[in-house]
Chain A
Amino acid sequence: EVQLVESGGTFVQPGRSLRLSCVASGFSFDDYAMHWVRQPPGKGLEWVAGINWDSFLVHYADSVQGRFTISRDNARNSLYLQMERLRPEDTAVYFCAKDKGGSVFFYFDSWGHGTPVTVSS
Chain B
Amino acid sequence: IELTQSPGTLSLSPGERATLSCRASQSVSNNYLAWYQQKPGHAPRLLIYHAYSRATGIPDRFSGSESGTDFTLTISRLEPEDFAVYYCQQYGASPLTFGGGTKIDIK
Q: Do B89 and A112 have beta carbons less than 8 Å apart?
A: no
Q: Do B96 and A105 have beta carbons less than 8 Å apart?
A: yes
> B46, B49, B87, B95: which contacts A45 (Cβ < 8 A)?
B87
Whole-angstrom distance between the alpha carbons of A106 and B29 in the complex? Answer: 11
Name the B residues within 8 Å of A108 (CB-CB). Answer: 34, 36, 44, 46, 89
Q: Do B95 and A59 have beta carbons less than 8 Å apart?
A: yes
Verify if A67 is at the interface (C-beta below 8 Å from B): no
Name the B residues within 8 Å of A47 (CB-CB). Answer: 89, 95-98
Verify if A26 is at the interface (C-beta below 8 Å from B): no
Q: Do A113 and B44 have beta carbons less than 8 Å apart?
A: no
Verify if A80 is at the interface (C-beta below 8 Å from B): no
Given contacts A107-B34, A107-B89, A114-B43, whether A100 and B95 have CB atoms under 8 Å apart is no
Total count of chain A residues near the partner, CB < 8 A: 22
Q: Do B43 and A111 have beta carbons less than 8 Å apart?
A: yes
Question: Among A45, A62, A95, which residue has the most Cβ atoms of chain B within 10 A?
Answer: A45
Verify if A109 is at the interface (C-beta below 8 Å from B): yes
Name the A residues within 8 Å of B101 (CB-CB). Answer: 44-45
Name the A residues within 8 Å of B100 (CB-CB). Answer: 44
Give A92-119 as 1s and 0s: 1 = Cβ < 8 Å from B's Cβ atoms. Answer: 0001000010000111111111100000
Name the B residues within 8 Å of A105 (CB-CB). Answer: 91, 94, 96
> B32, B44, B55, B87: which contacts A106 (Cβ < 8 A)?
B32
Q: Do B95 and A62 have beta carbons less than 8 Å apart?
A: yes
Give A39-50 as 1s and 0s: 1 = Cβ < 8 Å from B's Cβ atoms. Answer: 000001111001
Name the B residues within 8 Å of A100 (CB-CB). Answer: 49
**How far, in Å, is B91 (CB) from chain A's closest CB?**
5
**How far, in Å, is A97 (CB) from chain B's closest CB?**
8
Whole-angstrom distance between the alpha carbons of A110 and B91 in the complex? Answer: 15
Q: Which of B76-107 contact A (CB under 8 A)?
A: 87, 89, 91, 94-101
Known: A35-B96, A45-B98, A107-B89. 11 other contacts (CB 8 A): A45-B38, A45-B87, A45-B89, A50-B96, A59-B96, A61-B95, A62-B95, A107-B32, A107-B91, A111-B45, A114-B43
The 5 A-B pairs at the shortest CB distance, nearest first, are namely A111-B43, A107-B34, A47-B96, A45-B98, A44-B101
